[in-house]
């Protein structure tokens, strides 16, 4: 079994080269390849999805087990996103409370797409969430089958049945994508991936597409990388409509961009004027904390929001990722922790939840499952918690 400690020792960062593999030598002729999903230069992020593939000598004999860790429970993916599913769609297991559906606070998690995007809707409802995030295709590979008409129809039917709002869904971009890559081949694949994922958002009716800004890979300057990112964003937005692209703040780790809000502002300033109104930001609490913004107090949270207002404008804030942090403020370590179990603390999230500036914004957990207790906890922190 691949333990987390062993994984951390063997994790070879190769995103900038457009490849994602760990080779673990074994005695004899057998070897095991572990493919991972991650974003450029995020060596310490929350545990990535792991796919183990065993190969015997020269024979093409493979056995594959894939575990998705973003859902409420560990889910084994048995079919690619968009594959026709023959089983009859069952009614949603439960309903989100009317109080939460009517709330100005929209809280949820990142849920599975195993069996199609409708699964994410069902998991959101089962978790009592009134917002959610999902991948719109597999985030582990560049080449994915298109969404089938059935998958699209089932997603829209599940949304209609759930009572959830399309404007409170945030699609998350693949971790393979680097829109500022200095490698022409990786850049081309990243731009094609961005376009494909945003077109899938259009098909599904999703309004927000969240993306990590990118990495210099220590091969180009920050300014050159910013130019490439802005070009990637402009091209993708020009080829789509009705979907807003959200750049996520990062934690100043490695060669990633976006840890400083000024970098996000620079990217947005260079996006073509004709599509600039469809660019915003997604604020990740763990990333902001790790980048040096101590939001563990009300004063710290207010200071960060003041920086957002001054550098970017509050109108650019479209969504939040709610994650506690395993490491101290300014550690530049992107390790998510469950709410109240890390160094940001419950009181900080109470300030955030009760801040009117977070009204009507989708707020998404990216912590280890199970997430329902955290969703319930976050709703309970609101001053009108008895209504939920």
Q: Which residues are catalytic?
A: 140, 172, 175, 212, 248, 284, 287, 321, 334, 336, 366
Cα–Cα distance between 96 and 100 in angstroms, integer?
7
Q: What is the 3-state secondary structure (H, E, C) of 75-105?
A: EECCCCCCCCCCCCCCCCCCCCCHHHHCCCC
Residue 264 tokens read as 């996000």
Q: Are 218 and 180 in contact (CB under 8 A)?
A: no
- Burial of residue 221, with CB atoms counted within 10 A of its CB: 0-12 exposed, 13-18 middle, 19 or more buried: exposed
How big is the chain by its Cα radius of gyration, in Å? 20
b/e per residue 176-185 (b: at least 16 CB within 10 A): bbbbbbbbee
Strand partners, 281: 247, 317
Cα–Cα distance between 326 and 288 in angstroms, integer?
13
How many residues in total does the chain contain? 388
Residue 82 tokens read as 């968009």
CA 233 to chain centre: 17
Terminal-residue alpha carbon distance, the chain = 42
Cα–Cα distance between 20 and 40 in angstroms, integer?
10
Could you tell me the CA-to-CA distances from 279 to 275, 287, 295, 311, 364 in Å, in that order? 8, 20, 25, 15, 19
Beta strands in 16-120 (DSSP E): 22-25, 31-36, 50-55, 64-68, 75-76, 106-109
The DSSP-derived string for 222-261 is HHHHHHHHHHHHHHHHHT--S-EEEEEP----TTBS-SSH
């Amino acid at each position: 079994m691949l333990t987390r400690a062993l994984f951390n020792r063997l994790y070879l960062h190769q995103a900038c080269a457009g490849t994602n593999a760990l080779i673990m030598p074994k005695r004899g002729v057998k070897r095991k390849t572990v493919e991972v999903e991650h974003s450029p230069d995020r060596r310490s992020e929350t545990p990535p999805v792991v796919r183990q593939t065993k190969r015997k000598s020269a024979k093409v004999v493979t056995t594959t087990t894939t575990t998705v860790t973003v859902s409420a429970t560990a889910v084994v993916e048995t079919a690619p996103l968009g594959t026709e599913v023959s089983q009859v769609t069952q009614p949603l297991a439960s309903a989100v409370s009317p109080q939460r559906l009517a709330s100005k606070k929209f809280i949820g998690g990142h849920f599975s797409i195993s069996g199609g995007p409708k699964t994410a809707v069902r998991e959101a409802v089962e978790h009592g969430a009134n917002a959610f995030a999902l991948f719109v295709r597999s985030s582990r590979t560049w080449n994915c089958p298109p969404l089938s008409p059935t998958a699209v129809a089932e997603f829209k039917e599940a949304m209609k049945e759930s009572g959830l709002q399309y404007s409170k869904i945030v699609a998350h971009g693949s971790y393979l994508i680097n829109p500022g890559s200095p490698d022409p081949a990786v850049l081309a694949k990243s731009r094609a991936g961005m376009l494909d994922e945003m077109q899938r958002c259009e098909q599904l009716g999703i309004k927000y597409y969240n993306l990590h800004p990118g990495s210099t890979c220590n091969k180009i300057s920050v300014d050159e990388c910013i130019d490439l990112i802005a070009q990637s964003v402009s091209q993708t937005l020009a080829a789509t409509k009705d979907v807003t692209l959200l750049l996520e703040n990062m934690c100043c780790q490695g060669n990633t961009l976006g840890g400083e809000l000024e970098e996000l502002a620079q990217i947005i300033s260079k996006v073509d004027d004709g599509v600039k109104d469809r660019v915003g930001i997604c604020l990740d609490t763990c990333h902001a904390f790790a980048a040096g913004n101590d939001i563990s107090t009300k004063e710290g949270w207010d200071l960060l929001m003041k920086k957002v207002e001054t550098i970017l404008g509050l109108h650019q804030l479209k969504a939040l990722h709610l994650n506690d942090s395993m490491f101290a403020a300014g550690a530049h370590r992107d390790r998510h922790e469950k709410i109240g179990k890390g160094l940001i603390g419950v009181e900080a999230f109470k300030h955030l939840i009760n801040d009117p500036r977070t009204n009507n914004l989708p707020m998404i957990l990216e912590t280890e499952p199970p997430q329902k207790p955290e969703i319930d906890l976050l709703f309970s922190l609101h001053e009108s918690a008895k209504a939920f």
